[in-house]
Amino acid sequence: MSDFHFDRRQVRRNFGRAAGTYEKHDALQREVQSTLVERLDIYEQEPQVVLDVGAGTGRGSAALKKRYPKAQVIAMDLALPMLREAKHHTGWLKPFGRVAADAYALPVPDRSVDLLFSNLCFQWCEDLTRLFAECARVLKPGGLLTFSTFGPDTLKELRAAWAEADQQAHVARFLDMHDVGDAMLAQGLKDPVLFAERYTLTYPTPRALLDELKGLGANNADADRPRGLTGKTHYRRMIDAYEAMRTDGVIPSTWEVVTAHAWGPPAGQSRREGGGEIASFPIENLRGSRRKTPF
C-alpha cells in the first residue's frame, strides 16, 4: 500500500537514544494521550488484559493502570531503553508489566487482549496489512483497539523546506487516514471510526524543531534516507526556506493527528494472511460441526 519503508533497526535505535530526553519534548504526545484515554468511555466493560503498544516511557501505561486497577496492563515497546525509563512511572501500588516487542509480532496468544491501546506509535508501521492483522489476532471478540497516529500533513513545512534544498527523503512520510481505515476493515476489525485533527506547534527557529524531533526519537528512519552527512550548503538552503515561512515571529510546524478505534472480530471471522485467509474458532464449534446425525 505504501511506496516507502521504514528501517526497523533505525527506528529502534532512534527511540533508544531518545529515551532519556523524550519527556522533555512530549507535550503533543501527552495531549493526544489524554484524548485517547478520555475516549475510553466507549468501552463499558472491565478489561482483564490491556496492552499499551509503543508505550515509550510509560506515561500512557500508568494512566491505563490508574483507570483499570484490576487489569493486567502491559507496556510494550520496540526500544528497550524506553522500557527502562518506564520503570519510573510504575509503582508497587499500581504496577504494570514491561515487555520489549514489535507491533508487528505481539508476544501474546490469539484472542487474549481486551483493550489494545497505542499512542503515536503506528505511524512507524507502514505495512498496515501486517499491523492490523496482528491487532485482529490478539483482540478478544468485541475487544477494543484504540490508537493515534500521524497523517501525511505532519511536518509538511519541514518537508517543503527540504524540497527546496534537494529531492532526497529527509522527513518521515506517513499514511493517509483513508488507507488506515481501509486496512482496518480488510483485516476484519469491526466498525472502525477515525478522526483527523491538525495541531500547529511553533518554535523560535527551525533548529529548535529539529532538536525536538531528535529528543523525541522521531528522526527520519526512511529506508531511502540519505546515509551520509548533509552538506552545509543544502542544510543552509533548507533553513533559509523554512525561515521564509516564519509567521508572527515564530516558525510553524503542522502535526496531523489521526485517532481511531475499532472492535475485535467475532470468533471464526477470517483474516487475510500470507496471500490467503485464516479463520479461527473454538474447538467446541469444530467438534459440533463434525458430529454425525444418526439415521
pLDDT of residue 283: 45
pLDDT value at 168 more than 80: no
As a whole number, mean pLDDT of residues 20-49 equals 96
pLDDT of residue 292: 39
pLDDT of residue 219: 80
Do 258 and 194 meet the contact criterion of CB atoms below 8 Å apart?
A: yes
Name the β-bridge partners of 43.
none
Give the pLDDT band (50/70/90) at residue 233: confident
Give the pLDDT band (50/70/90) at residue 170: confident
% of the chain with per-residue pLDDT over 70: 85
pLDDT value at 130 more than 90: yes
**Residue 236 backbone dihedrals phi, psi, to 5 degrees:** -65, -35
Residue 24 or 223, more confident: 24
Residue 135 or 227, more confident: 135
What is the full DSSP assignment across 63-103? HHHHH-TTSEEEEEES-HHHHHHHGGG--SSS--EEEE-BT
As a whole number, mean pLDDT of residues 49-75 equals 97
pLDDT of residue 288: 43
pLDDT value at 291 more than 70: no
Give the pLDDT band (50/70/90) at residue 276: low
As a whole number, mean pLDDT of residues 66-86 equals 97
Give the pLDDT band (50/70/90) at residue 286: very low
**For residue 267, how many other CB atoms are within 10 A of its CB?**
15
Query: What pTM did the predictor assign?
Result: 0.88
Residue 244, Cβ density class (10 Å: 0-12 exposed, 13-18 middle, ≥19 buried): exposed
As a whole number, mean pLDDT of residues 266-283 equals 58
pLDDT value at 275 more than 80: no
Helix axes 177-186, 128-138, angle to 10 degrees: 50
Give the pLDDT band (50/70/90) at residue 5: confident
pLDDT value at 60 more than 90: yes
pLDDT, averaged across the chain: 89
As a whole number, mean pLDDT of residues 32-58 equals 97
